[in-house]
Amino acid sequence: MENSIQKNSLEKKKVIILGGSTGLGLATAKAAAAEGAYITIVSSNKSRIESAIMQLPAGSEGFTIDLRNEQEIKTFFERTGNFDHLVYTAGENLHIGKITQTDLEKARQFFNIRYWGALAAVKYSAALINKGGSITLTSGVAGLRPGSGWGLGASICGAMDAFSRAMAVELAPLRINTVSPGIVRTNLWDNLPEQERNNLYTKTAEALLVGRIGEAEQIAETYIYLMKQQFGTGQSVVVDGGAVLI
């Protein structure tokens, strides 16, 4: 029993969170730190990193790198040494739009951080992860139940889910899973005008089975679970308030 408890603990484990300066990433960093983990967060925004570090325990580290740049990701992991868990939550503000209004060049850029950045992170980190460790990526329920205007978002989410399953097979026994959130109240929606954003939250809350919008701290609990559990791999855990059922 004692060995089982130790194995499932984050106490003194090294956790690296790419996209950890805001939103789901920062909420996960705080939750992991509360369980005794040593935290390293990474973001492309220096001021956000500085702000986030002030919200984390002493000894936490923050690094500014461009997650669209493979060489910067490679160099970062060459300097980290071995660690226990990687979480990838990085992503820019979300874009919703009909296919007829989609600028393909701009659409390709959304894959740079959300998909290619994650792929590079897995490529250069997998060999550094200690036995019993894990990688947890991020997709979204748009891949399962897209609405009108969600062609781009659904494509990215579907790609991430498939990539996670493929890596779980290829890199076994390293556990690789994905968190698939619904609409959550985070800064990813800050590109919308305030009234439009509030309307989105209100309408979503009214439609969801749980009757409320998701919060970053609630989704963070799923990342913590996937780090601590020792048997599931290649899975996409949906945390959406029932969105895929309505």
Write down the mean pLDDT value for the chain: 93
Boundaries of every domain in the chain: 2-187+216-240
Asked if pLDDT for residue 2 goes beyond 50, the answer is no
Task: Classify residue 34 by its DSSP letter.
Answer: H
Structure confidence by residue, pLDDT tens digits, 73-90: 999 999 999 999 999 999
Phi-psi region of 241 (alpha: psi -120 to 50; beta: other; left: phi over 0): left
Better-scored residue on pLDDT, 192 or 100: 100
Query: Can you give the pLDDT at residue 97?
Result: 84
Is 4 in the active site?
no
Catalytic residue (choose from 43, 60, 134, 139):
139
Sign of CA dihedral 46, 197, 225, 125: negative
- Geometric angle at alpha carbon 110, from 107 and 115, rounded to 5°: 125
Measured CA to CA, the distance from residue 165 to residue 162 in angstroms comes to 5
Structure confidence by residue, pLDDT tens digits, 4-59: 444 589 999 999 999 999 999 999 999 999 999 999 999 999 999 999 999 999 99
Least confident of 136-140, 159-163, 201-205, 216-220: 201-205
**Mean pLDDT across 143-161:** 91
Measured CA to CA, the distance from residue 45 to residue 87 in angstroms comes to 18
CATH topology of domain 2-187+216-240: Rossmann fold (3.40.50)
Closest CA to 186 of 222, 214, 153, 163: 214
Better-scored residue on pLDDT, 76 or 153: 76
